[in-house]
Amino acid sequence: MNELEFVTKHRRHLHQYPELSLHEYETTQYIASFLDSLGVHYERPLDTGLVAYIPGNGQKTIAYRADIDALPIFEENDVDYKSLNDNVMHACGHDGHTTALMLFLQRCKSRADAGTLPQNIVFIFQPAEESGGGANRLIKAGAFEAYPIEAVFGVHVMPFVEEGKVAIRDEEITASATEYRFFLKGLSSHVADKEQGHSCGEALQHVLAQVGSIQQYHLNGLKRNIVHMGRFEAGEAINTVPSQGYLEGTIRTYDTQDLAVVKQQMLKIAESVDLLFGVECEVKFAEGYPPTYNDPSLRKHVVTGLENAGLQVVDKTTPYLFGEDFSFYSQLAPSYFVFVGTKDEQRGFVTGLHTAHLNFNEAMLIRIADYYDQILNHYGEVQAQ
């Protein structure tokens, strides 16, 4: 089978059988069977996902990562490889990331068998990117302790960048993702005696207004930040003063100082609620993914690799404001993450990530493997410059 047949076969199989974060059992077995057929060593530090290793001739060890999980989305594409799992879809392109890494791994195994693989390679088939922080789970499980990894590389398909182009950016390229939750507790009373109560409805209106003003009054207007209010509610019955209130949302920022400002303002808002309304208010934060930081020392590897693979480099001036758990790999070694364009208006490949119509040209997966190859081929040379 040629490489286009390879990527088409594997990507479409993975696309038909998507699995949610931390439930990628069949996906993991599919990849494991592929590795078994090649005789490649791998380990399973977690219940799902795996880490493979192929030794080369050099002293350097570099890693490549693909995420393998899908999303709780009902697919609306009219294709013969449509998801067979109800309300689960590879709507973020992870089936493509996985397939491209499988192709690259097959190439590396052939080179290793021929004695021409220049460096040691770690292949990360990572679970739970969408939720669960699979990258961090693997690190905490000691999945990489046996490997002296010098650099980690990864890609993501991007339907808003034209096919053949790749968006890159030194330093932060994706935002941190932090969840917040306000819990309000007041005093109920009958509406006829509403002054006897402490209304969480009134208090929640105050919280909503103040949270909504953080971006306008407390953050640099030239920076991109999101303070999003996702769900809120208050009250128990139509004729009583609300005694309970709740607000939850997400903060997206690529500047840790901006994140600190947002959290500090929210703490002040919570304190003000009791003073103004006699309502207890607590805000809690759930730390998500840190910003994905692209180490500038790896830029030459990335640019050289992309250009040698026939891809056009596009420098992105500002980070994307979504979260990405590739960010955790910077704990291991310098890392670099790029966005490979898949936009093709003639074919209708124009819908965004996390949508029911996401699709792309599988031939681009060969180009991703070419990029990985070029990094491998020139890693030592670029290091020496």
What residues are designated binding site for Mn(2+)? 92, 94, 130, 156, 354
- What count of other Cβ atoms lies within 10 Å of the Cβ of residue 61? 20
Q: What is the 3-state secondary structure (H, E, C) of the chain?
A: CCHHHHHHHHHHHHHHCCCCCCCCHHHHHHHHHHHHHHCCEEECCCCCCEEEEECCCCCCEEEEEEECCCECCCCCCCCCCCCCCCCCECCCCHHHHHHHHHHHHHHHHHHHHCCCCCCEEEEEEECCCCCCCHHHHHHHCCCCCCCCEEEEEEEEEEEEEECCEEEECCEEEECEEEEEEEEEECECCEHHHHHHCECHHHHHHHHHHHHHHHHHHHCCCCCCEEEEEEEEEECCCCCECCCEEEEEEEEEECCHHHHHHHHHHHHHHHHHHHHHHCCEEEEEEEECCCCEEECHHHHHHHHHHHHHCCCEEEECCCCECCCCHHHHHHHCCCEEEEEEEEEECCCCECCCCCCCCCCCCCHHHHHHHHHHHHHHHHHHHHHHC
Q: Which residues are annotated as a binding site?
A: 92, 94, 130, 156, 354
What's the length of the chain? 385
For residue 338, the Cα-to-chain-centroid distance in whole angstroms is: 12
Separation CA 253–CA 231 (nearest Å): 20
